[in-house]
Amino acid sequence: DCKFNCSQFCIAGNIGTAACDNKSGACLKGCQDGYMPSLCDKICSPGTFGKDCQFTCSQFCKTDASGTPVCDHVNGTCLNGCQDGYLTSMCNLNCPIGKFGQNCNFSCSPFCVANKQNIAECNHATGKCECQYGYETAWCNKSCDAGKYGQQCGSTCSKNCLVVNSTYCSHINGTCLQGCQTGYTDHFCDKFISENGGNDSDVPVGIIVGVILGLVAAAVIVVVIATIIWRRRKTKSSQNNNNSFNSMNNGSTAALNEPEMPKREKSQKVSNSRDKENIEAANDVAAAGIYYNDVPEVSPTVIQLKDLGMFLSSHSIPFYQEQFNVIPSNNEATTEVAERPENKIKNRYKNIWAYDHSRVNLMSSDNHKQDDYINASHIQGYNGQESFIASQGPMKRTTGDFVRMIWEQNTEEIVMLTNLIEQGKLKCERYWPEDGEMKVGEITVQLTTTQVFADYTIRKLKLRKDGHPDHLVTHFHFTAWPDKDVPQTPWSLVDFEQRVASYPTSKPIVVHCSAGVGRTGTFIALRNIIKQAEDKGYLDIFSTVQKLRYDRINMVQTSTQYGFLHRAAQVAILCMGTTVTSNDRQQRISYLDKTSQTGLTNMEQEFKMICNLKNDDEDDKEKNEYVNDASNVYQNSQNMNRQKNRLSNIIPKLLYAPVLQCETDYLGDYINAVFVQSFRKQNQQFLTA
């Protein structure tokens, strides 16, 4: 009686033609993709998809409880995402070289052995790799313990190395960093010095006596000849002295005050020599266990602004690692208050506490008796005055204390450098309302305005407390900084720093991330470095970080952040004075149109400087966390992809390249294009040829 309908997933026939058999219901032209023949009334069984369910889901799709890969029954896209180490909607592409993990979001350790393109390589799923000398663990994320060095830290420092503050030898090559024990010399302290001052090799006495007599005779001859020459020239010299002196007074004195600049070759040699002295001087400070808060202006780690570009071009990760490792800590500081039982629970991390001498003291009241501790520290600015408060991000139990500190310190600006949740972990409690207002202890926090930009958000908050006038706070929230890492590019952080600087305040700025040391220390260091460059014409990043660590532990937490500071400083110095308000727009345009001393207009000169900075990034052969070098791009050897590039030297960096979903052998997933963020959104636009 024809009471059943053909399945809606049968492939439809021509007009007037049945879609299924009038007796069995089998679909005459087959099923639509994703449905099982012949009735087409059931979706493909788990793990299969497509036409007649003949295809299997990628083995790299995430699986269900039974271990079966989960994908869309129609097109095979992985519904729950990819297993670690794979990309695209069908999880059929390995992470690019140098990346690993979930969605390829993680970078291989810079201390993994690099490939021919000088990119650190690791397992695309786990991140495990073969380590460079001086590093160990499966991920090469730990330098050798004191006393060990070399491949997988398998070698032991010489017993003749001098040991100071548990520092034995270089963890990379075993050279004795602090010198040798008495009686030994050479880089590895493996040469014995005999009592007569030489090495342990025996030299015949006759040879020694002969050499000495020869030297004495030669010295006598030299003295006699020098005496004769001196007597002959004495008269002539005395006659010329007066003329020479008069000549200097008649217009040559300027030469004394303006020495000739050395040639580039000589400058390079001097720079290399100074670099070695910088490390040695820093080692001496660390070895002595001394912390100097007042760093002299003429420091061995000073970099002149004119030399900054060359300095960055000639230094790589190992240099920053070595220098970072010898930045002194404040070993004299105490943490008695932070370690009290009632205060320990207020510290997010067990090893990051506020020093007693610099901690922020909350006010006591009837509601807060003997409750004056918060994990926050007063930090000096470049000029030695208190300019910042570095704080850990609020926890649930300390949110009230944090807002209370903002109120009591009369804070006008907060700089937040963490997202609330990162990689599934809570990094900071939200202390402002998403909308309207919220009560935090005795204080009401109201959100009045929100401005969202590509890399940061600016909020205006109003704090109210009974019996007191309202207090206004500007909240700067940078959202593009990974924990214990660095932003993808220094430009975003410099733009953010300039935005903060455009809001002048006479009150200390509260800066926090999660722990209040890594990202927080890096941002404060950048602010102080910029001030120093403006005031002195040079920068001293080593000493800047050293000063911060006097007031708070571990400020600038990793060598990657320390290296990033150098790049960010270069960009910030380049951008000095380029932020323009609408009122100053015409004045700025007039300046850009003027011709500079180079013969170029100021606009052309600035553009050239930007291009030079860009090229400097791309020519960097090291695998830096803060620079995506030019080799980190699509390098597919297939002619099909190469034919899609209009120009062979303009290809997208993999980090910014879109991946097409038409993944067939013919079309491929490659296009010569990059994502470009707008003023307010990331990845909002494409650039393509």
Please identify every residue annotated as catalytic.
513
Distance, CA of 194 to CA of 280 (rounded, Å): 27
Q: Which two tokens stand for residue 590?
A: 């007039």
Q: Is the four-CA dihedral 345, 351, 352, 354 of positive or negative sign?
A: positive
DSSP state of 204: -
Distance, CA of 523 to CA of 500 (rounded, Å): 11
Given a contact cutoff of 8 angstroms between Cβ atoms, the answer to whether 527 and 520 are in contact is no
From the list 170, 176, 172, 175, the residue with the least C-alpha distance to 134 is 172
Distance, CA of 122 to CA of 113 (rounded, Å): 8
Q: Which amino acid is at 127?
A: G
Given a contact cutoff of 8 angstroms between Cβ atoms, the answer to whether 83 and 74 are in contact is no
Q: Which amino acid is at 72?
A: D
Residue 437, classed as helix, strand or coil, is strand
Q: Which amino acid is at 77?
A: T
Q: Which two tokens stand for residue 458?
A: 């600016």
Alpha-carbon Rg of the chain, whole angstroms? 34
Q: Which amino acid is at 244?
A: S
Q: Which two tokens stand for residue 383?
A: 């000029």
Distance, CA of 316 to CA of 623 (rounded, Å): 9
Q: Which two tokens stand for residue 117?
A: 């393109």
Distance, CA of 20 to CA of 588 (rounded, Å): 75
β-pair partners for 370: none
What Å distances lie between residue 56 and 33, 136, 612, 621, CA to CA?
13, 40, 50, 42
